[in-house]
Structure 1
Protein backbone atom coordinates (compact mmCIF):
# COMPACT_ATOMS: atom_id res chain seq x y z
CA UNK A 1 0.00 0.00 0.00
CA UNK A 2 1.34 3.45 -0.89
CA UNK A 3 2.45 5.72 1.91
CA UNK A 4 2.81 9.48 2.03
CA UNK A 5 5.13 11.75 3.94
CA UNK A 6 3.45 15.10 4.47
CA UNK A 7 5.65 18.01 5.48
CA UNK A 8 4.92 21.57 6.61
CA UNK A 9 8.11 23.62 6.45
CA UNK A 10 8.87 27.11 7.72
CA UNK A 11 12.16 28.16 6.16
CA UNK A 12 14.47 30.18 8.41
CA UNK A 13 17.56 30.26 6.14
CA UNK A 14 16.51 30.33 2.46
CA UNK A 15 20.07 30.17 1.12
CA UNK A 16 20.95 27.05 3.11
CA UNK A 17 17.56 25.51 2.31
CA UNK A 18 18.42 25.74 -1.41
CA UNK A 19 21.28 23.32 -0.76
CA UNK A 20 18.83 20.93 0.90
CA UNK A 21 16.57 21.09 -2.16
CA UNK A 22 19.50 20.10 -4.40
CA UNK A 23 20.51 17.08 -2.29
CA UNK A 24 17.11 15.57 -1.51
CA UNK A 25 15.57 14.34 -4.82
CA UNK A 26 18.21 11.68 -5.48
CA UNK A 27 17.83 10.28 -1.97
CA UNK A 28 14.06 10.02 -2.38
CA UNK A 29 14.41 8.22 -5.72
CA UNK A 30 16.74 5.64 -4.10
CA UNK A 31 13.78 4.50 -1.99
CA UNK A 32 11.30 4.44 -4.87
CA UNK A 33 9.79 7.71 -3.70
CA UNK A 34 8.58 10.69 -5.66
CA UNK A 35 7.36 14.22 -5.09
CA UNK A 36 3.59 14.70 -5.32
CA UNK A 37 3.67 18.29 -4.01
CA UNK A 38 6.80 20.39 -3.74
CA UNK A 39 6.19 23.88 -2.41
CA UNK A 40 3.28 24.96 -4.61
CA UNK A 41 0.81 27.72 -3.76
CA UNK A 42 -1.41 26.92 -0.78
CA UNK A 43 -4.83 28.28 0.13
CA UNK A 44 -6.48 27.55 3.47
CA UNK A 45 -10.05 26.32 3.01
CA UNK A 46 -10.83 25.59 6.67
CA UNK A 47 -9.17 26.20 10.00
CA UNK A 48 -6.25 28.46 10.78
CA UNK A 49 -3.41 26.47 9.19
CA UNK A 50 -1.12 28.84 7.28
CA UNK A 51 1.77 26.72 6.01
CA UNK A 52 4.76 28.38 4.40
CA UNK A 53 5.82 25.40 2.29
CA UNK A 54 4.07 22.05 1.90
CA UNK A 55 5.75 18.93 0.52
CA UNK A 56 4.08 15.57 -0.09
CA UNK A 57 6.18 12.51 -0.94
CA UNK A 58 4.84 9.16 -2.12
CA UNK A 59 6.58 5.87 -1.35
CA UNK A 60 5.46 2.30 -2.09
CA UNK A 61 5.12 1.48 1.63
CA UNK A 62 5.46 3.06 5.07
CA UNK A 63 8.56 0.92 5.56
CA UNK A 64 10.24 2.42 2.45
CA UNK A 65 9.28 5.94 3.56
CA UNK A 66 10.77 5.39 7.02
CA UNK A 67 13.84 3.72 5.54
CA UNK A 68 14.44 6.84 3.41
CA UNK A 69 13.97 9.18 6.36
CA UNK A 70 16.45 7.26 8.50
CA UNK A 71 18.94 6.44 5.72
CA UNK A 72 22.59 7.42 5.75
CA UNK A 73 22.14 8.87 2.26
CA UNK A 74 19.51 11.35 3.48
CA UNK A 75 21.36 12.29 6.68
CA UNK A 76 23.44 15.11 5.15
CA UNK A 77 20.37 16.73 3.61
CA UNK A 78 18.30 16.20 6.77
CA UNK A 79 20.90 17.98 8.93
CA UNK A 80 20.85 20.95 6.52
CA UNK A 81 17.03 21.06 6.60
CA UNK A 82 16.97 20.93 10.37
CA UNK A 83 19.35 23.93 10.50
CA UNK A 84 17.57 25.90 7.77
CA UNK A 85 13.91 25.30 8.63
CA UNK A 86 11.34 24.36 11.24
CA UNK A 87 9.57 21.21 10.12
CA UNK A 88 6.44 19.25 10.94
CA UNK A 89 6.48 15.82 9.24
CA UNK A 90 4.20 12.79 9.32
CA UNK A 91 3.95 9.51 7.44
CA UNK A 92 0.50 8.13 6.61
CA UNK A 93 -0.82 5.05 4.82
CA UNK A 94 -2.60 5.61 1.52
CA UNK A 95 -5.75 3.80 0.43
Structure 2
Protein backbone atom coordinates (compact mmCIF):
# COMPACT_ATOMS: atom_id res chain seq x y z
CA UNK A 1 0.00 0.00 0.00
CA UNK A 2 1.22 3.49 -0.84
CA UNK A 3 0.71 6.60 1.26
CA UNK A 4 -0.20 9.93 -0.27
CA UNK A 5 0.65 13.29 1.25
CA UNK A 6 -1.86 15.81 -0.11
CA UNK A 7 -1.50 19.48 0.71
CA UNK A 8 -3.40 22.62 -0.20
CA UNK A 9 -1.27 25.76 -0.15
CA UNK A 10 -2.61 29.26 0.45
CA UNK A 11 -0.09 32.08 -0.05
CA UNK A 12 -0.14 34.53 2.85
CA UNK A 13 1.14 37.32 0.64
CA UNK A 14 -0.11 36.76 -2.88
CA UNK A 15 2.08 39.58 -4.13
CA UNK A 16 5.27 37.73 -3.05
CA UNK A 17 5.12 34.16 -4.39
CA UNK A 18 8.91 34.25 -4.94
CA UNK A 19 9.39 34.10 -1.16
CA UNK A 20 7.88 30.60 -1.19
CA UNK A 21 9.97 29.49 -4.19
CA UNK A 22 13.08 29.02 -2.03
CA UNK A 23 11.23 26.41 0.02
CA UNK A 24 9.97 24.65 -3.11
CA UNK A 25 13.51 24.37 -4.47
CA UNK A 26 14.89 23.04 -1.18
CA UNK A 27 12.16 20.56 -0.27
CA UNK A 28 12.10 18.53 -3.49
CA UNK A 29 15.48 16.79 -2.99
CA UNK A 30 14.60 16.04 0.65
CA UNK A 31 11.30 14.41 -0.34
CA UNK A 32 13.04 12.40 -3.07
CA UNK A 33 15.80 11.30 -0.66
CA UNK A 34 13.14 9.60 1.46
CA UNK A 35 11.48 7.94 -1.52
CA UNK A 36 8.74 10.48 -2.13
CA UNK A 37 7.50 10.84 -5.67
CA UNK A 38 5.75 14.04 -6.71
CA UNK A 39 2.57 13.19 -8.59
CA UNK A 40 1.15 16.72 -8.69
CA UNK A 41 2.70 20.15 -8.03
CA UNK A 42 0.54 22.79 -9.62
CA UNK A 43 -1.02 26.19 -9.34
CA UNK A 44 -3.25 25.51 -12.37
CA UNK A 45 -6.50 24.93 -10.51
CA UNK A 46 -10.11 25.20 -11.60
CA UNK A 47 -12.29 26.05 -8.63
CA UNK A 48 -15.66 24.32 -8.49
CA UNK A 49 -16.78 25.98 -5.25
CA UNK A 50 -16.18 29.40 -3.72
CA UNK A 51 -15.02 28.06 -0.35
CA UNK A 52 -12.15 25.88 -1.65
CA UNK A 53 -9.57 28.07 -3.38
CA UNK A 54 -6.00 26.97 -2.68
CA UNK A 55 -3.21 28.70 -4.61
CA UNK A 56 -1.31 25.43 -5.12
CA UNK A 57 -1.95 21.70 -4.66
CA UNK A 58 0.73 19.09 -4.08
CA UNK A 59 0.37 15.30 -4.03
CA UNK A 60 3.36 13.13 -3.08
CA UNK A 61 3.38 9.31 -3.02
CA UNK A 62 5.52 7.40 -0.52
CA UNK A 63 5.96 3.62 -0.55
CA UNK A 64 5.08 3.37 3.15
CA UNK A 65 4.08 5.50 6.11
CA UNK A 66 7.51 5.05 7.70
CA UNK A 67 9.24 6.77 4.76
CA UNK A 68 6.72 9.61 4.80
CA UNK A 69 7.21 10.19 8.53
CA UNK A 70 11.00 9.98 8.25
CA UNK A 71 10.93 12.63 5.55
CA UNK A 72 8.89 15.23 7.40
CA UNK A 73 10.51 14.45 10.76
CA UNK A 74 14.03 14.65 9.30
CA UNK A 75 16.63 17.17 10.38
CA UNK A 76 16.92 18.39 6.78
CA UNK A 77 13.21 19.13 6.57
CA UNK A 78 13.04 20.79 9.98
CA UNK A 79 15.82 23.18 8.86
CA UNK A 80 13.70 24.54 5.99
CA UNK A 81 10.20 24.20 7.43
CA UNK A 82 10.09 27.87 8.50
CA UNK A 83 10.48 28.88 4.84
CA UNK A 84 7.06 27.31 4.27
CA UNK A 85 5.27 28.38 7.43
CA UNK A 86 6.49 31.96 7.09
CA UNK A 87 4.86 32.52 3.71
CA UNK A 88 2.00 30.07 3.31
CA UNK A 89 -0.86 28.52 5.20
CA UNK A 90 -1.34 24.87 4.39
CA UNK A 91 -3.87 22.11 4.93
CA UNK A 92 -2.52 18.58 4.64
CA UNK A 93 -3.80 15.03 4.87
CA UNK A 94 -2.16 11.65 4.57
CA UNK A 95 -4.14 8.84 3.02
CA UNK A 96 -3.26 5.20 2.54
CA UNK A 97 -4.34 3.45 -0.58
CA UNK A 98 -3.46 1.35 -3.54
CA UNK A 99 -3.23 2.59 -7.09
CA UNK A 100 -3.16 -0.93 -8.48
CA UNK A 101 -5.95 -2.03 -10.81
CA UNK A 102 -7.38 1.43 -11.18
TM-score, normalised with respect to structure 2: 0.83
Q: Distance in 2 between matches of 1:19 and 1:54?
A: 17
RMSD: 1.6
Give the secondary-structure state (helix, strand or coil) at the position aligned to 1:50: coil
Give the secondary-structure state (helix, strand or coil) at the position aligned to 1:16: helix
- The superposition leaves residues 9-46 of structure 1 with CA deviations (integer Å, 9 ceiling, x where unpaired) of 01124222011011011100111111100024122346
Moved over 6 A (4+): none
Higher deviation after alignment, 36-45 or 83-92? 36-45
TM-score, normalised with respect to structure 1: 0.88
Unaligned runs of 5+ in 2: none
Picking from 53, 59, 63, the partner of 1:60 is: 63
Question: In proportion to residue count, which structure has more helix?
Answer: 1
Give the secondary-structure state (helix, strand or coil) at the position aligned to 1:86: strand
Q: Distance in 2 between matches of 1:4 and 1:77?
A: 21
Unaligned runs of 5+ in 1: none
